């Protein structure tokens, strides 16, 4: 799989073959698959209440950092579920990830 490719292929795996340790049996690849990583335009995940929708929380767009950001995502979402999403610690952590940042952009674009 090379840069910019959205699918896996046997040809894309050829450069990896020399790195396979000696002694491993040869492998065949009956099919290829790759998963796309959801990303936002600004590269930050979207975590928190969805503007204009009551009781809808979003936790998406983590890209390749889903596992790494899981603890902070859980803190932000659980704080919102408990009703403490505006607590000092959580609110400061959550601000850069708020879905509201895209709602503000949409409003500016509509006024043009």
Q: Are the C-beta atoms of residues 9 and 16 closer than 8 Å to each other?
A: no
pTM of the model: 0.61
Band of residue 107 on the pLDDT scale cut at 50, 70, 90 = low
Measured CA to CA, the distance from residue 10 to residue 24 in angstroms comes to 18
Which of the two residues, 25 and 106, has the higher pLDDT score? 25
3-state secondary structure of 57: strand
pLDDT in tens, 26-35: 777 666 667 7
Q: Are the C-beta atoms of residues 109 and 62 closer than 8 Å to each other?
A: no
pLDDT in tens, 63-83: 888 889 999 999 999 988 888
Band of residue 2 on the pLDDT scale cut at 50, 70, 90 = very low
């Amino acid at each position: 799989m090379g840069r910019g490719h959205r699918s896996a292929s046997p040809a894309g795996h050829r450069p990896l073959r020399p790195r396979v340790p000696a002694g491993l049996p040869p492998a065949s690849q009956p099919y290829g698959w790759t998963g796309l990583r959801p990303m936002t335009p600004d590269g930050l995940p979207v975590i928190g209440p969805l503007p204009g929708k009551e009781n809808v929380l979003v936790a998406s767009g983590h890209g390749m950092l889903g596992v790494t950001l899981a603890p902070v995502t859980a803190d932000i979402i659980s704080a919102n579920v408990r009703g403490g999403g505006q607590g000092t610690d959580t609110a400061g952590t959550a601000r850069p990830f708020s879905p509201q940042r895209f709602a503000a952009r949409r409003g500016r674009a509509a006024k043009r």
